[in-house]
Amino acid sequence: CLSMGGTKSAGSGRAEKESSAVTKGEAMRDGEDDRNAAVNQKLVEAELAKARAAGNAADRQGEVKHAMAALDSGATGYQRAEALKRLCDALEALGEPGTADRYCDLLLRDFPGTAAARAVADRRNRVQSAPMPSKKAVRSTDQMEAPAEAAPSKAPASTKPAQAY
């Protein structure tokens, strides 16, 4: 009977060691995850700082590049909202509304109550409610463009009299 009890305690000792090893392994991975998260956080902040600087310099392509890098680095929370807003605004400024809409929609969906989302929603409402140009205005624009497309006129005749030498 004693040997069985001893066997049980030895078996449970092995189980405790295995459990302890798993716990230590998980703790090591958790520590690595924490370090990776801190590194990613620094990368995200650095990319957002570059995106801000590019935006302040009216470098929309640079702003897009760095805001995208911030998202790719794992931006979350406020940083994700900022990156999405910068992408939305910069891509619209670059004349890429289709691509901008993707990021604007994500901002509106993921951060609906924020000032950034309200600004995007307000801008969309203004654009949608803007009156379409009248047919008269469109015709007027077409007529202004028509002469530029006409065939070039003949070169002007020389104004100097022909001289016989």
SS (H, E, C) the chain: CHHHHHHHHHHHHHHHHHHHHHHHHHHHHHHHHHHHHHHHHHHHHHHHHHHHHHHHCCCHHHHHHHHHHHHHCCCCHHHHHHHHHHHHHHHHHCCCHHHHHHHHHHHHHHCCCCHHHHHHHHHHHHHHHCCCCCHHHHHHHHHHHHHHHCCCCCCCCCCCCCCCC
pLDDT at 142: 54
Instruction: Please check the confidence at residue 3 and state whether its pLDDT lies above 50.
Output: no
Q: What pLDDT digit, counting tens, does each position of 133-159 carry? A: 666 655 555 555 555 554 455 555 555
Q: Which domains does the chain have, with CATH numbers?
A: 8-131 (1.25.40.10)
Q: What pLDDT digit, counting tens, does each position of 70-111 carry? A: 999 999 999 999 999 999 999 999 999 999 999 999 999 999
Confirm whether pTM is higher than 0.85.
no
Chain mean pLDDT for the chain: 78
Of residues 114 and 149, which shows the higher confidence score? 114
